[in-house]
Amino acid sequence: GDKVKQSPSALSLQEGTNSALRCNFSIAATTVQWFLQNPRGSLINLFYLVPGTKENGRLKSTFNSKESYSTLHIRDAQLEDSGTYFCAAPTSGGNYKPTFGKGTSLVVHP
């Protein structure tokens, strides 16, 4: 099965509302990184987390390594928040390569 599962797979928000995206791990993740892939295709770094919480403007992310999940909270959603959100964690097994979830596709509408 998927080592990194993201939910929901798709989300539609009205401008100004709040929501949360989730990333569940079936691996022993020690760190997690969140990205936004914008409509042009660029993957933009949002957060790099060790266990704990980080906040940047209207975005806040929490990583709970003991319960193997991370959340990304979006407050006061804006049109420019639209895109696909990915989480990634190091996969052990010798090489520690980044393993990605399948993404959450977010559309913010007026």
Partner 1 sequence: DAGVTQTPRHEVAEKGQTIILKCEPVSGHNDLFWYRQTKIQGLELLSYFRSKSLMEDGGAFKDRFKAEMLNSSFSTLKIQPTEPKDSAVYLCASSLDWGAETLYFGSGTRLTVL
Q: Rule CB under 8 A: which residues touch partner 1?
A: 30-31, 33, 35, 40-43, 45, 48, 86, 88, 90, 95-98, 100, 102-103
Whichever of 62 and 91 has its CB closer to partner 1, that residue is 91
Asked whether the beta carbons of 72 and 59 are under 8 A apart, the reply is yes
Asked whether the beta carbons of 23 and 102 are under 8 A apart, the reply is no
The single-letter DSSP state of residue 3 is S
In the complex, least distance from residue 77 CB atom to partner 1, rounded to whole angstroms: 24
> What is the spatial distance between Cα 69 and Cα 91, in angstroms, rounded to a whole number?
14
Whichever of 88 and 106 has its CB closer to partner 1, that residue is 88
